């Protein structure tokens, strides 16, 4: 238990629990070993400082559900499932409850009395997974009137957020990054629309006879999306003036030529696109986009400050000590040192230890327990006697063709990651892991970081102002530049900074040093460059063999797959905060998408194919990518294939309540990935 300086707990009880909180709403994630309490008591200064995390009153995540008792969650969901009015449900929920749930092919366990209640699963999806706000008058739908409700709110009526009417300022409840992202999309859309309007005279010019050298309807046989572009198929052979026909340069630039006697002939476009008028409109569009980008950057920085001030979190009251003495495990000592900066005192001291192996073992244990519960849904897995008895009586269900294929082809690959394990394997690994945890509990751990949370923002600001010093002073521990009151234990120069948000701290990675992180990032960056080269090679050959349409589809497919590949690469890297991890991910995805979408297509196109209309030419290739990005990506996002498969196929077949709720967690999103899509297309359009 973590409390304030009088020992009173903050906001009720704040328990120190495992790093990754309950995300399925059952409230029973922490099923401790017999001596787990001794671990908590030994390290109420533990690495996963959730006293600090829970102090963040504005943290709206599924982790909030972990504070609700299991029976309370079930009671609330049963009430939602039975009493939600029809106008407060999504269309998918209405159709599923009234039509699909009664069909055996959709809900094969509908007659099983032990099967989870699928209606409660949909109630979980709409009241826990999806965000809701307190009920307001329909005529007062503004950011000032909308207040986001906690997941599972039952005391007051709530509504789902409106897709069309939710104001942009309300998106700050999802985090500053989300609000800024939608601001960016809005301004970028307006900017590109204005740039398109500025370019309309060029569209008219490229479609007319003045551009094509007097040839009428020269784009009549072109695709609708190419009409009005600079595509021109009218060309003729002309003699090259002496001194301008270096054959080496012609070959290098892939310019088609012929030699007749002493004269070199080159193919010249008959279309007149290099006019002052065309150039001025192009420059006007580019300068408009540049101006909008500069002004928007200034506006975005101001908006970020407003959003940040509007959202009060634990970070606004806290400081982080990055170089504490390794043996400084006493929270009272830290409280005594920092109390002088705030007249109202220190609220929470969170000491983070380098006990990552222990925390990983606890997380592995939780995963194995969930897998064991899937196999034995009606067994109390806290009782070894009941588990062994159930295992002795367990009978495997007949395997179908798909199950056999998974067991033979996929299971050997994922088995090292503790996936698709058999019942006996899960039990054996769980016992081995319990032994490991008990051994790790007996070890002593060094302090890696300390988080101090004050009662007031003034205390945080004064501490930062007093203790912030140069990097060199910290590394060399130059005590002469600091007064003794600013030295911890009278001799340590502390490296004090404002911490990241509690939910953004990556507690398992805080003990990784700078040299390790640099090496890890060099490895992942090298792999990314290799993927860029491979992607360009495949797209180029697809374009040559199948044409620009299939090359565009492949480009879009690679752009959709690369985030998942990068996420696997990120397993190699260790970052102290989620923000640093997102930046690294954003850089890698951006490099791939920029090169794959905008750069490769230009460099693999011969100069003479720039304005032609064939399958190997530049503009049709760009058109293929545009069409694919405009239609394929949004359609796949709307269909949400994996999310719907989880809700409509796996959920009705779930054996336990927890397993069913996991199917209704929704599809995760990644801001770094979203930003790369917009930046790549912005570069492409420019």
Over residues 533-551, the pLDDT tens digits come to 998 888 878 877 777 667 7
**Which of 28 and 454 is assigned the larger pLDDT?**
454
**Which of 572 and 410 is assigned the larger pLDDT?**
572
Size (the chain), residues? 686
Residue 567 in this model has a pLDDT that exceeds 70:
yes
Give the whole-angstrom CA distance, residue 682 versus residue 234: 30
Q: Is 424 exposed, middle or buried (0-12, 13-18, 19+ CB in 10 A)?
A: exposed
Give the whole-angstrom CA distance, residue 100 versus residue 104: 9
Q: First CA to last CA across the chain, in angstroms? A: 56
Average pLDDT of the chain, as a whole number:
77
Residue 47 in this model has a pLDDT that exceeds 50:
no
- Pick from 208-222, 294-308, 588-602: least confident: 208-222
Quick one: CATH architecture of 315-353+447-505?
Answer: 2-Layer Sandwich (3.30)
490 phi, psi to nearest 5 deg: 80, 5
In whole angstroms, how large is the CA radius of gyration of the chain? 31
Give the whole-angstrom CA distance, residue 454 versus residue 649: 49
Give the whole-angstrom CA distance, residue 72 versus residue 306: 37
pLDDT score recorded for residue 678: 66
**Which of 403 and 359 is assigned the larger pLDDT?**
359
**Which of 357 and 402 is assigned the larger pLDDT?**
357
Q: C-alpha angle 261/263/264, rounded to 5°? A: 115
**Which of 187 and 2 is assigned the larger pLDDT?**
187
Asked whether the beta carbons of 435 and 35 are under 8 A apart, the reply is no
CA torsion, ordered 618, 620, 626, 630, to nearest 10 deg:
-170
Using one digit for the tens of pLDDT, what is the confidence trace for 119-136?
Answer: 999 999 999 999 898 888
118 φψ region: left (φ > 0), alpha (ψ -120 to 50), beta (else): alpha
pLDDT score recorded for residue 439: 92
pLDDT score recorded for residue 25: 37
Q: Report the greatest alpha carbon distance in the chain.
A: 100
Please list the residue range(s) of the chain that carry CATH number 3.30.70.330. 315-353+447-505
pLDDT score recorded for residue 42: 30
pLDDT score recorded for residue 459: 92
318 falls in which pLDDT band (50, 70, 90)?
A: very high
> For 554-579, b where at least 16 C-beta lie within 10 A, e where not — what string?
bbbebbeebbebbeebbeebbbbbee
Find, among 164, 84, 156, the residue nearest to 125 by Cα.
84
- Pick from 175-184, 352-361, 414-423, 613-622: least confident: 613-622
């Amino acid at each position: 238990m973590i409390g304030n300086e009088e020992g009173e707990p903050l906001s009720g009880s704040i328990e120190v629990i495992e790093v990754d909180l309950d995300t399925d709403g059952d409230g029973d994630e922490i099923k401790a070993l017999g001596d787990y309490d001794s671990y908590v008591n030994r390290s109420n200064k533990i690495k996963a400082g959730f006293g600090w995390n829970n102090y963040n009153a504005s943290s709206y995540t599924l982790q909030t559900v972990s504070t609700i008792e299991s029976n309370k969650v079930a009671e609330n969901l049963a009430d939602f499932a039975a009493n939600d009015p029809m106008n407060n449900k999504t269309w998918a929920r209405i159709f599923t409850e009234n039509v699909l749930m009664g069909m055996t092919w959709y809900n094969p366990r509908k007659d099983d009395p032990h099967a989870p209640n699928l209606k409660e699963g949909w109630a979980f999806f709409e009241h826990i997974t999806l965000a809701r706000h307190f009920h307001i008058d329909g005529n007062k739908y503004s950011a000032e009137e909308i207040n986001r409700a906690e997941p599972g709110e039952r005391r007051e009526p709530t509504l789902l957020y409106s897709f069309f009417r939710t104001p942009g300022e309300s998106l700050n409840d999802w985090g500053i990054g989300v609000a800024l992202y939608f601001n960016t999309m809005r301004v970028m859309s307006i900017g590109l629309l204005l740039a398109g309007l500025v370019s309309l005279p060029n569209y008219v010019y490229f479609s007319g006879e003045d551009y094509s050298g007097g040839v009428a309807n020269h784009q009549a046989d072109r695709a609708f999306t190419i009409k009005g572009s600079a595509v021109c198929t009218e060309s003729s052979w002309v003699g090259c003036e002496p001194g301008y026909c270096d054959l080496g340069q012609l070959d290098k630039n892939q310019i088609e030529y012929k030699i007749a006697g002493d004269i070199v002939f080159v193919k010249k476009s008959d279309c007149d696109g290099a006019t002052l008028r065309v150039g001025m409109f192009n420059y006007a569009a580019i300068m408009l986009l540049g101006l909008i980008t500069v002004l928007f950057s200034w506006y975005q920085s101001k908006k970020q400050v407003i959003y940040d001030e509007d959202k009060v979190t634990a970070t606004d009251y806290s400081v982080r000590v990055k170089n504490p003495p390794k043996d400084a495990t006493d929270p009272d000592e830290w409280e005594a040192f920092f109390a002088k900066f705030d007249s109202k005192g220190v609220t929470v001291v969170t000491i983070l230890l380098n006990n990552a192996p222990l925390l990983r073992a606890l997380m592995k244990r939780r995963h194995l327990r969930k897998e064991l519960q899937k196999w034995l849904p009606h067994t109390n897995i806290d009782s070894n006697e009941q588990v062994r008895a159930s295992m002795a009586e367990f009978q495997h269900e007949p395997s179908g063709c798909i199950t056999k294929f998974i067991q033979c082809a996929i299971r050997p690959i994922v088995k090292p990651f503790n996936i698709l394990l058999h019942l006996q394997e899960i039990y054996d690994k769980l016992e081995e892991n319990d032994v490991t945890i008990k051994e790790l509990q007996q070890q002593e751990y060094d302090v890696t970081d300390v988080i101090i949370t004050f009662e007031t923002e003034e205390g945080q600001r004064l501490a930062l102002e007093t203790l912030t010093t140069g990097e060199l002073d910290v590394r060399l521990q130059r005590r002469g530049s600091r007064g003794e009151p600013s030295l911890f234990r009278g001799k340590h120069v502390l490296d004090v900074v404002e911490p990241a948000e509690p939910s953004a701290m990556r507690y398992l990675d805080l003990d990784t040093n700078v040299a390790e992180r640099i090496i890890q990032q060099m490895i992942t960056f090298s792999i990314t460059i290799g993927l860029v080269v491979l992607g360009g090679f495949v797209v180029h050959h697809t374009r040559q063999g199948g044409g620009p349409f299939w090359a565009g589809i492949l480009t879009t497919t690679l752009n959709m797959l690369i985030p998942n590949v990068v996420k696997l690469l990120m397993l190699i890297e260790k970052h102290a905060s989620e923000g640093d991890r997102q930046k690294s991910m954003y850089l890698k995805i951006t490099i791939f998408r920029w090169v794959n979408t905008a750069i490769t297509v230009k460099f693999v196109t011969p100069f003479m194919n720039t304005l032609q209309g064939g399958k190997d030419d530049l503009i049709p290739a760009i058109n293929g990518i545009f069409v694919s990005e405009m239609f394929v990506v949004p359609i796949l996002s709307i269909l949400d294939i994996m999310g719907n498969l989880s809700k409509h196929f796996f959920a009705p077949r779930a054996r336990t309540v927890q397993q069913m709720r996991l199917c209704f967690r929704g599809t995760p999103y990644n801001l770094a990935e979203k930003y790369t899509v917009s930046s790549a297309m912005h570069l492409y359009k420019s």
